[in-house]
Chains A and B, each alone.
Chain A
Amino acid sequence: MTQELVLEMRGIRKEFPGVVANDGVDLDVRRGEVHALLGENGAGKSTLMNILYGLYRHDAGEILLNGRPVEFASARDAIQAGIGMVHQHFMLIPVMTVAENIVLGVEPRNRLLLDERTAERRVRELSERFALAVDPAALVGEITVGQEQRVEILKALYRGADILILDEPTAVLTPQEARELFAIIRSLQADGKSIIFISHKLNEVLEIADRITVLRRGKKIETVPSSGATEASLARAMVGREVLLQVEKAPAQPGDVLLSVGDLHVRDERGIPKVRGVSFDVRAGEIVGIAGVDGNGQTELIEAITGLRKIESGSITVAGRELREASARAMLDAGVGHIPEDRQRRGLVLEFSIAENIALHDYAKPPNAKWGWLFPARLVARAAGLIREFDVRGGGPLTRAGGLSGGNQQKVVVAREISRDPRVLIAAQPTRGLDVGAIEYLHRRIIMERDQGRAVLLVSLELEEILSLSDRILVIYEGEIAGEHTGEVSEQQIGLEMLGGRERPAA
């Protein structure tokens, strides 16, 4: 790493209707540096990078590349200036090959035709040079997530990127895959590339970055060398106060088994077995956490338990009663409450009012309705009470749910589920995308419900959340339970089990 600056962003401001996403942000990046951009969700990291990549236009400020001011009207301009970006959600086309995805936009030509052979050869050369193993001829829809990420990195390198933006690159990876990614980053660094590493994970940032810039609510807080930073100091800069890293809770007092899953098998919509022989119990008054990398069957498992997906074989028993071929309605009636992982698509009808959303499970039952006739006034009255009880802010019973903030939307969901007094409460990624205040509220609420004697099944991709809330932890890997823990357990141990207890061979 040299002191030579390749990139300077000065006083960047970007306003969206009703919100200032970036407010006078400065950022400078040196040649061969890994520069982490740290901040909570919504702190303005992605906006800043989208401006750098030419996807958004900034309202004020300037960008200097190698000392010269630049103006990017589109991604094409940024790419030509040597900037590459790996988005959090991969920008790949599943029905096309790896090579086609990589050369898209800068295709090698043979007169007017696409020169596929040259494309594949160049991709192969690049992947060998940076040890990014992928098959250029494979269809992107058929490779693993880790490989997809490599394709994204190759895409940027193919375009001659000198500055590589990685947007939350480890979010979809296992700890072991993340190690491989870090090795790739080091080799890129050695080649003189500069890397901007966006993350909200403190430990990762401290490990990989040379310098760290912290953003909070659209403003730059500080830029520090990682050698002088600690998790606590960074956390303070990120949220503006000390974070409660540990959730306070009394020891669990498990009672009867309320949810019992026996040898469950479930397939996804493409017919691929996703849950393969899972068995576990959840007792009254305990929180069972399910840890695992995204896509290992968690979604299908929850959907099966809540009656949203057909099971292939096995049993689901709620409060001693086995439910066969149960519909979502039957599961609701049996006493299963469900905080779904995607509240905007599943948990709420955004166009409905809060009152209508609160009635989502019970709209057809008295007092809400009789003989198929609906009584809107009663929906409103019930909602008004729950809005007070659960401290939903930003509107009344007739407010459109889509107009609420994420935290308040989640409160509406939680209010609805808990007010039905379920025996079993399933919380799937209950705090995803929420701010710290809302997260704390939800964590306390979940523990409160446990102490009320509900059986809580918590599924989360955030290992920290699982570790701090659960009384018992199950690790799911490729649709099977790969480990179970009750007492103290290290993050490393669980991380290993999330891979089925063995190193995944480098693909």
Chain B
Amino acid sequence: MTTDGSGPPETPEEAAASGTVAARFALKQRAGGLVVPVLTALIAFLIGGLVVAATGHNPLLAYRDIFNGAGLNWIFHPTTNIASTSAYNLSQTLLQTTTLILCGLAVAFAFRCGMFNIGGQGQYLIGLYVANWLGYDFARMSPVPHILIAIGGATIAGAAWAGIAGFLKATVGAHEVISTIMLNWIAIWMGEWLFGDGGPLQNAANKAVPISNDVAASAQLPAFWGVQQLQALDVGFFVAIAALIVFWLILNRTTLGYEVRAVGFSPEAAAYGGISVRKNLIRAMAISGAFAGLAGALDMLGYLYHFGVSDIPVSSVGFLGIAVALLGRNTAAGTALGALLFGALLFGTTHGLSSNVIQPELAGNLTYMIQGLVVLFVGADVLILYIWNTRRKLRPRAKQATT
């Protein structure tokens, strides 16, 4: 319904360059891209706070405790001394953030190719399993090749696991949401089998417990902040930061990224442009899975070292990646911020809460609720923009005439 010749310039680059009223308005529309996530998070915290208040706890104190528990109060008195509680807490939050960045990218990359990868959890678990296996075997290796093999193997395994969904989508049109959900559960049960009674990866020393072997010292990632025995922040953090940059570069500066985005926006137009849609669906899904598999590897080699049957149902970082990516609008920078937010929630709710304010069990479930609310509201930016725009109704509607 656009009339001839009046299409407004819509990219921020151009808007900034031209500086007309229309351009500034367009820039504001784009800025909705920032408003929506921030408002979404605020609403989620608000509703979560209401539940907390309704059940007789003080939400402000609870959030303050979570904030401090996550070590975010570190910015008020920054120190690298890990003996400081806030510094330690922050290092742990960043450890969670590392995983969530990669799990978020696993969702975001597929999203940019028009697919919803709900299977991050399965791909992450597969990464964990393979990293544990490769990290335990080859124990005589020197650290660098051992770590590379373990990380590489886990990443490829994650890619292959997600690639199944991509392949099914590309060849027979199976919906990736359904197939990744199924692959999640297959991965979960695979873990029960691998580490369970008589499973191939079960602890060799103690056959009574359904737990894996410990990763050999040669495959453990070096810590850079903190003491390894107390669960330190390892160099995997930098790998995740690098992954963010790689993600951005692939999408915006390579022909592969061009193809992925073209297929994501319009498969038919992409095919017409000479791009193989099938190849890109498989490839994008595999790259997504690689991010999740890498997350599993970094967790296993960075601080977990072993994994048990009872850990499987508790783990949910792959699912959290969905909230991270959606809140971050499937961009690199957004994913980083989303990962930090949820990393803080994840660690802050398990730790350092005074029980007269809120019990950790309640706070942990509060995280799930906030996660659910975030995903719910992100999906409905119509509503968020409506809330944002009601603000404007206070002003005279003179601007209407310009359209």
Direct contact of A and B (CB under 8 A): yes
- Write out, one digit per residue, whether chain B residues 265-297 have a CB within 8 A of any chain A CB (1) or not (0): 110111111101000000000000000000000
Cα separation A399 to B7 with both chains bound (whole Å): 8
The stretch that binds B, out of A132-140, A199-207, A287-295, A388-396, is A388-396
A489 on the B face (CB < 8 A): no
B13 within 8 A of A: yes
Write out the residue numbers on chain A whose beta carbons fall within 8 Å of the beta carbon of B273: 328, 349, 360-361, 363
Instruction: Determine if B274 and A408 form an interchain contact, defined as CB atoms under 8 angstroms apart.
Output: no
Known: A345-B269, A349-B270. A374 touches B255 (CB 8 A): yes
B residues 186-243 touching A (CB-CB < 8 Å): none
A279 to chain B, nearest CB (A): 25
* A356 touching B10, Cβ below 8 Å: no
The answer to whether A360 touches B257, judged by C-beta atoms less than 8 angstroms apart, is no
Question: Whole-angstrom distance between the alpha carbons of A411 and B4 in the complex?
Answer: 12
The distance from the CB of B277 to the nearest CB of chain A, in whole angstroms, is 10
Q: Which of B13, B258, B265, B266 has the most CB of A within 10 A?
A: B258
A432 beta carbon closer than 8 Å to chain B: no
> Which of A12-20, A229-237, A474-482 interfaces with chain B?
A12-20
B305 to chain A, nearest CB (A): 38
The answer to whether A373 and B253 have CB atoms under 8 Å apart is: yes
B3 touches A360 (CB 8 A): no
CB <8 Å contact, A329 and B3: no
Asked if B9 is an interface residue, CB under 8 A from chain A, the answer is yes
B101 to chain A, nearest CB (A): 24
Contact A394 B269 (CB under 8 A): no
- Find A394's partner among B5, B13, B14, B276 (CB 8 Å cutoff): B5
Bound-state Cα–Cα, A351 to B13, Å:
15
Q: Which of A125-166 contact B (CB under 8 A)?
A: none
* A346-B269, A360-B262, A373-B253 given; A399·B4 CB < 8 A: no
The interface centre, meaning the residue of A345, A349, A407 with most chain B CB atoms within 10 A of its CB, is A349
> A407's closest neighbor in chain B, by CB?
B4
Main secondary structure of the interface of A (DSSP, over half): loop
B379 at the interface (CB under 8 A from A): no
B255 touches A340 (CB 8 A): no
| Residues A328 and B274 in contact in the complex (CB < 8 Å), given A348-B269, A363-B258, A394-B4 | yes
Q: List B contacts of A338 (CB < 8 A).
A: 272
Q: Are B2 and A404 in contact (CB under 8 A)?
A: yes
Residue of B3, B10, B265, B269 ringed by the most chain A CB atoms within 10 A: B269
A180–chain B nearest beta-carbon distance, Å: 35
Interface assignment of B19: CB less than 8 Å from any CB of chain A: no
A434-460, CB under 8 A of B: which get 1 and which 0? 010000000000000000000000000
How many angstroms between the C-alpha atoms of A404 and B4 in the bound complex?
8
Q: How far is the CA of A351 from the CA of B264 in the complex (A)?
A: 10
Q: Which residues of B sit under 8 angstroms from A396, Cβ to Cβ?
A: 9, 14
A353–B12 Cα gap in the complex (Å)? Answer: 12
Name A380's closest neighbour in chain B (CB-CB). B13
Q: Would B7 and A345 count as touching, CB distance under 8 A?
A: no
- Is B403 interfacial (CB 8 A cutoff)? yes
Binary B-proximity of A399-411 (CB < 8 A = 1, otherwise 0): 1100111011000
- Which of B365-403 touch A at CB < 8 Å? 403
User: In the complex, A149→B11 CA distance in Å?
Assistant: 44
Chain A, 347-381, CB within 8 A of any chain B CB = 347-353, 356, 359-361, 363-364, 369, 372-374, 376
> Of the candidates B14, B258, B268, which one forms a contact with A356 in the assembled complex, judged by CB atoms under 8 Å apart?
B258
A373 touches B254 (CB 8 A): yes
The answer to whether B172 has its CB under 8 Å from any CB of chain A is no
Per the bound structure, the CA–CA distance linking A352 and B252 in Å amounts to: 12
Closest to B269 in A: A349
Residue B170, interface by CB 8 Å? no
Given the complex, which residues of B lie within 8 Å of A329, measured CB to CB?
274
A408 to B7, CA, bound (A): 10
Contact B254 A374 (CB under 8 A): yes
Question: When chains A and B are docked, how far (Å) is the Cα of A17 from the Cα of B6?
Answer: 13
CA–CA, A37 and B232, complex, Å: 76
Asked whether any CB of chain B lies closer than 8 Å to the CB of A93, the reply is no
Determine the distance from Cα of A374 to Cα of B262 in the docked complex, in whole angstroms. 14
Per-position 1/0 for A309-334, Cβ under 8 A of B = 00000000000000000011100100
B residues less than 8 Å from A361 (CB atoms): 273-274
Find chain A residues with CB under 8 A from B269 CB. Answer: 345-349, 360
Residues of A within 8 A of B271 (CB): 308, 328, 346
**B1 CB–A CB distance under 8 Å:** yes
Q: Which residue in B1, B11, B257, B266 is a CB contact (below 8 Å) of A400? A: B11
Contacts of A399 in B (CB 8 A): 7, 9-11, 14
Of B10, B255, B403, which contacts A372 at CB under 8 A? B255
Which of B2, B11, B272 has a CB less than 8 Å from the CB of A353?
B11
Nearest CB of B to A240, in Å: 15
- In the docked arrangement, what's the CA distance between A476 and B324, Å? 54
> Residue A340 contacts which of B7, B13, B272 (CB distance < 8 angstroms)?
B272
Asked whether A18 lies within 8 Å of B3 as measured between CB atoms, the reply is: yes
Quote the shortest CB–CB distance from B14 to chain A (angstroms).
Answer: 5
Q: Which residues of A contact B4 (CB under 8 A)?
A: 393-394, 405, 407-408, 435
Given contacts A350-B265, A363-B255, A364-B255, contact A403 B270 (CB under 8 A): no
B8 contacts which chain A residues (CB < 8 A)?
395, 403
16 contacts between A and B (CB under 8 A): A18-B2, A332-B274, A349-B266, A350-B265, A360-B274, A361-B274, A363-B255, A372-B254, A374-B253, A374-B254, A395-B8, A395-B9, A396-B9, A398-B11, A403-B2, A405-B3
Interchain residue pairs A-B with the least CB separation, the first 4: A394-B7, A360-B273, A329-B274, A403-B7
| Contact surface of A with B, Cβ cutoff 8 Å | 16-19, 21, 306, 308, 327-329, 332, 338, 340, 342, 345-353, 356, 359-361, 363-364, 369, 372-374, 376, 393-396, 398-400, 403-405, 407-408, 435
Q: Beyond A340-B272, A352-B265, A394-B2: 19 further Cβ-contacts under 8 Å?
A: A17-B1, A18-B2, A18-B403, A21-B1, A328-B273, A346-B266, A346-B268, A346-B271, A353-B11, A359-B258, A360-B273, A360-B274, A364-B258, A373-B253, A374-B254, A395-B9, A398-B13, A399-B14, A405-B6
